[in-house]
Amino acid sequence: MLQGVVVRAYSGFYYVEINDEIWECRLRGKFRLTRQSVLAGDRVRVRQTGDKTGVIEEVLPRATELDRPPVANVDQVILTFACAEPDPQTELLDRMLVQAEAAGLSPVICFNKVDLVNDETVEELTSPYQKAGYPVLVTSAVRGTGVEQFRQYLRGHISVFAGPSGSGKSSLLNAVHPGFRLKTGRVSKKIGRGRHTTRYTELLELEPGSLVVDTPGFSSLHLPEMDKRRLDQMFPEFISHIDNCRFNGCLHRAEPGCAVKQAVEEGLISRERYAHYLVFLEELAVRERRY
């Protein structure tokens, strides 16, 4: 059998890159019986049935996997949010960061459309995440601001793009590689967010050894399945303070002698990020009580 990588899954067909050619494939019946999913990024074995057509017989073990967006074997997540039009949703960004951390992926935060806001707004958006230790890029696909730095972050990685519709993911990819010619859309003034212009998850080659995944936009994200006691590990700026809490297993909520809460009071941890942590902690607690 031949081995390749799924670059797109659409309407029951799986498009697999095999020896620099794209083959149109179907799934073997056993996948439907076992309900095993096949994702963009999967390494697969294919049995040829015709000219550049085949049947996927086997999915090789995955190094990583994301549910939303559905993609396998990536090592870096580019979380793209607009500085304006639409306004950035920092709770959604923090949810996505938790998802990336839980999946063992390296997140990079990109605030796009910097041409629409002033320097003070940029500082307010970026500062909490820079303090937390995340790589933060500031870009404008329209003006070309930060595009070269953005390209450097993509080099040598398999990167997945994620973020709400209208944030400019496709525009940024077009700026990095005009040959992609991805469809872009305007933000709806009526609903205040972008329309989905990417209809399916697709793996695109930026250059040899550098692949990017263009994914459908979305505006909600469930927290991953995890013990609520692990949530603080998903907030990098908490980690250096956790061992100084009075109690082992401190949830940093109502416990006395909490070093994380003290760090919030001292301005070492963003109040907004901490507020989101409490929201997520309650969601996980409710889920645990339910099940």
Number of CB atoms found within 10 A of residue 180's CB: 16
Nearest partner of 216 among 10, 6, 4, judged by Cα? 10
Q: What is the pLDDT of residue 198?
A: 43
Nearest partner of 111 among 90, 88, 76, 82, judged by Cα? 82
Q: What is the pLDDT of residue 205?
A: 81
> What's the pTM value of the predicted model, to 2 decimals?
0.80
Nearest partner of 237 among 130, 138, 135, judged by Cα? 130
Q: Running DSSP on this structure, what letter comes out for residue 140?
A: B
Number of CB atoms found within 10 A of residue 69's CB: 22
Mean pLDDT by runs of 10 across the 291 residues of the chain is 90 90 90 79 95 95 81 90 94 93 92 97 97 96 93 90 85 82 43 43 79 62 88 97 96 97 97 98 93 73
Angle 274-226-201 (CA atoms, 0-180°, nearest 5)? 90
Contact 41, 16 (CB under 8 A): no
Domain limits of the chain? Answer: 2-59, 65-214, 228-290
Q: What's domain 2-59's architecture?
A: Beta Barrel (2.40)
Classify 65-214 by CATH class.
alpha beta
Q: What is the pLDDT of residue 116?
A: 96
Q: What is the pLDDT of residue 181?
A: 55
Which of 3.40.50.300, 3.30.2320.50, 1.10.40.50, 2.60.40.10 would CATH assign to domain 228-290? 1.10.40.50
